[in-house]
Amino acid sequence: MKWLTLIIKYRLWLGIIFLAIAIFTNVQAGFWPSFVIYLIAVVLIVGHFVFGPMRLLQQHMETGDLEGAKKVIDSIWFPGLLIKPVRSVYYTVKGNLDMANQDYTNAEKHLKKSQDLMSGGGLLGDQMKQAEGANKLQLGMLAMQRGDMKGAEGYIRAAIRAGLPDKENEAAAFLQLSSIMLNKREFRAGKEYFRKAKALKPTTPQIADQIKQMEKYITRMPG
């Protein structure tokens, strides 16, 4: 619905225009003739600050347009005003953008903010639980980047328990656990997690290549 996208994109400016029209009408004809126009203005302006342009953000993320997603994120001036579920998505996307730019310090900070909002009880339903799982998986990968294997294992196990949105994320989680177990010399567990990852038949090139590389040496390991 292109018209809805346009309304969301220009919602604040439309709200300001309606507010100006409402004030003019109020001065010329009184409050009640301007009431509906005031109401439209308030809905548009409040909607901009409370719900944000998340529909626009979703379109950019689905197409992999990170530059477009960054522009949408930068257009949110007061993230603290966003309702809790939307604010959580905001910080998750900021964390993803930071990871894409290899800014792991800010990525962890933003992902933890998102995680705190999810843990606050404001997000309900399977979809939000999966978002929590994906968030924890990313935190686990960041911990691995820092060499914190214990923290990484905790986050990744928590991600699997929470549930992940698709088989690609599940495969990534099992592969990371396999790597951690092999690093701990727990070969049997490492092989079991590797089998689980391979059984999911992921199609993401990076994950599929990682499975091929691990398969070359994991069968020679004891356990």
- In whole angstroms, give the CA distance from residue 132 to residue 116: 10
- In whole angstroms, give the CA distance from residue 112 to residue 131: 13
Residue 219 has a pLDDT of 79
**Whose structure tokens read 């300001």?**
16
Residue 124 has a pLDDT of 45
List the one residue out of 142, 125, 212, 126 whose CA is nearest residue 171: 212
Residue 128 has a pLDDT of 61
Give pTM, 2 decimals. Answer: 0.78
Residue 127 has a pLDDT of 54
Residue 8 half-sphere exposure, CB side, CA atoms within 13 Å?
17
* Digitized pLDDT (tens) for each residue of the chain, 223 residues in all: 678 888 888 999 999 999 999 999 999 999 999 999 999 999 999 999 999 888 888 778 777 788 888 999 999 999 999 998 889 889 998 998 998 888 989 999 999 999 888 765 554 445 566 678 889 999 999 999 888 999 999 999 999 998 888 899 999 999 999 999 999 999 999 999 999 999 999 998 989 999 999 988 887 887 6
Residues 6+ apart with CB under 8 A from 89: 54, 57, 114, 131
- In whole angstroms, give the CA distance from residue 19 to residue 36: 10
Q: How many CB atoms lie within 10 A of CB 58?
A: 14
